[in-house]
């Protein structure tokens, strides 16, 4: 019994850390997928789409750009777990969106990424001191996930 308790004391913190790291990666993958969804929706609906994050409320989502309307829009909204937070990448051009923090990306009706879109955004687990970034790709066409991108 003492061996079991000792093993549990050693393994439990590592398992919890692994679960937290998985949450961080999962949220970054969801944010990246949201950019791809927005590009596809912009092209199929023929209207600009934005991806936004709100660091204050830990919410993020995508929808038709303000001022445009369509009958068949599929807005998405998610909330980060309480142990994670958003941070724009230093030097990123970010535009404030009413009620939604700031825009990360805007896709034109042809699916191209607006050049004024943010260079990326970090998702941070401060308790674990781990970071995952969702950054613009080198070709400027979309976004990619970069693990361990420091502050």
pLDDT tens sequence across 68-105? 888 877 889 999 999 899 987 754 445 555 566 788 89
How much is the pLDDT for 26?
A: 93
State in words which class domain 2-147 has.
alpha beta
Percent of the chain with pLDDT strictly greater than 90:
45
How much is the pLDDT for 10?
A: 72
Q: What are the backbone angles phi and psi of residue 126, rounded to the nearest 5°?
A: -65, -35
- Give the residue-averaged pLDDT of 21-28: 82
Separation between Cα atoms, residue 145 and residue 15, nearest integer Å = 23
Q: Cβ of 128: how many Cβ atoms within 10 Å?
A: 15
Q: What pLDDT digit, counting tens, does each position of 102-133 carry?
A: 888 999 999 999 988 888 999 999 887 889 99
Separation between Cα atoms, residue 49 and residue 108, nearest integer Å = 7
Domain ranges of the chain: 2-147
What token pair was written down for 101? 């923090």
Separation between Cα atoms, residue 36 and residue 118, nearest integer Å = 15
**Nearest Cα to Cα of residue 111 among 30, 49, 68, 55:** 49
């Amino acid at each position: 019994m003492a061996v079991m308790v000792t093993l549990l004391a050693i393994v439990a913190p590592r398992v919890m850390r692994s679960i937290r790291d998985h949450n961080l990666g999962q949220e970054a993958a969801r944010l990246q997928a949201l950019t791809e969804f927005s590009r596809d929706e912009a092209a199929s609906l023929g209207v600009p789409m934005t991806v936004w994050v709100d660091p204050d409320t830990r919410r993020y989502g995508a929808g038709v750009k303000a001022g445009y309307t369509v009958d068949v829009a599929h807005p998405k909204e998610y909330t980060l777990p309480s142990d994670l937070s958003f941070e724009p990448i230093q030097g990123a051009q970010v535009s404030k969106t009413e009620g939604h923090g700031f825009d990360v990306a805007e896709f034109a009706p042809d699916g191209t990424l607006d050049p004024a879109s943010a260079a990326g955004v970090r998702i941070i687990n401060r308790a674990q001191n781990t970071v995952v970034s969702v950054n613009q790709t080198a070709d400027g066409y979309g976004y990619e996930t970069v693990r361990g991108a420091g502050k």
